[in-house]
Structure 1
Amino acid sequence: MRQQLFYVAVGYVCGYLMISWMPDVTPFTWVNFLADFTFRPLHSFLAMACFFIGFLANAMAIRTMVEGAVQLFIRKIVNWHEWLASYTVVGSFYWLFHLNKRLSLLFFIFSVVYGMIAVDFSSGHRYKKLL
């Protein structure tokens, strides 16, 4: 449970920092966006690093949500605390959408796609079977 809450907290903080460090170009033009990205390299690098770390952390919480739902559907044992704790990722995306809709949507799509790719439907994890 703590691990899932840690993933959600890291995902939210990284999402918040990514949104705050990305250049806000209104109205959006590629030239101004790339110029701001180029002339502020530290903010650009930190925003990209936060995006990467954040969507990986959120993807792990989404993976737990999906695996728990499938296990519940096929009537296997579900770790309820871990499964319900992973649903707090929905609230973190809710708050991120209030900050910036476009970047949050991009962040959400990457997290969901990677989370769905990482789903493991086998009864045990592969690394435990190899031991």
Structure 2
Amino acid sequence: MYYHLLKLLTGLISGFLFIKFFPVSIPMSISDMIVIFVLEPGGFFLGMIFFIIAFIANAEMIRSAIELTALLVKYKKTHFFELMLSLLIIGSFFILSAISLWETIALFCFSLIYGIISLDFKKLKFAEDYE
């Protein structure tokens, strides 16, 4: 349970730092973006480091939320507090979207795709050929 809380806080704090360090203003053209990244490489580098940390932590929370929800639906039992902590990732994305919507959408898309890709359907026994 503490591990899920740590991942939730890591994803939230890293997402916040990604938004603060990544220099983006809307509307922005590709040439403006390249100039900003060349003139401010430190902000770009730190933003990308925090983006990677945030999207991996959030993807793990999304994966565990899907797995725990599937176990609840299939077997009618699960660790309730771990499930609630995993579902709090939705609130984390709402908090980040209040700060900056477009960076949060990018973070959410990457996290969701990676979280779904990392699911193990054989572990959940949803695959028919599982023995």
TM-score (norm 2): 0.88
Report the 3-state secondary structure (helix = DSSP H, G, I; strand = E; otherwise coil) of the residue aligned with 2:75.
coil
Preserved CA contact (<8 Å) 1:55 1:108: yes
Report the 3-state secondary structure (helix = DSSP H, G, I; strand = E; otherwise coil) of the residue aligned with 1:23.
coil
Deviates more, 1:23-32 or 1:101-110: 23-32
Taking the aligned partners of 2:90 and 2:97, their CA distance within structure 1 comes to: 11
Cα distance, 1:32 vs. partner?
A: 1.2
Cα distance, 1:27 vs. partner?
A: 2.8
1:92 corresponds to which letter in structure 2? Answer: S
Q: Are 1:2 and 2:2 counterparts?
A: yes
Show the counterpart of 1:80. Answer: 80
Deviations 1:20-40 (CA, angstroms, capped at 9, x unpaired): 111133431111111111111
Show the counterpart of 2:117. Answer: 117
Percent identical across equivalent pairs?
31
Preserved CA contact (<8 Å) 2:7 2:58: yes
**Superposition RMSD in Å:** 1.5
Show the counterpart of 2:27. Answer: 27
Taking the aligned partners of 2:94 and 2:17, their CA distance within structure 1 comes to: 16
Show the counterpart of 2:96. Answer: 96
Report the 3-state secondary structure (helix = DSSP H, G, I; strand = E; otherwise coil) of the residue aligned with 1:27.
coil
Cα distance, 1:79 vs. partner?
A: 1.6
Q: Are 1:40 and 2:40 counterparts?
A: yes
Taking the aligned partners of 2:15 and 2:112, their CA distance within structure 1 comes to: 14
Where structure 1 has 5 or more consecutive residues not aligned to the other structure, the ranges are 125-131
TM-score (norm 1): 0.88
Where structure 2 has 5 or more consecutive residues not aligned to the other structure, the ranges are 126-131
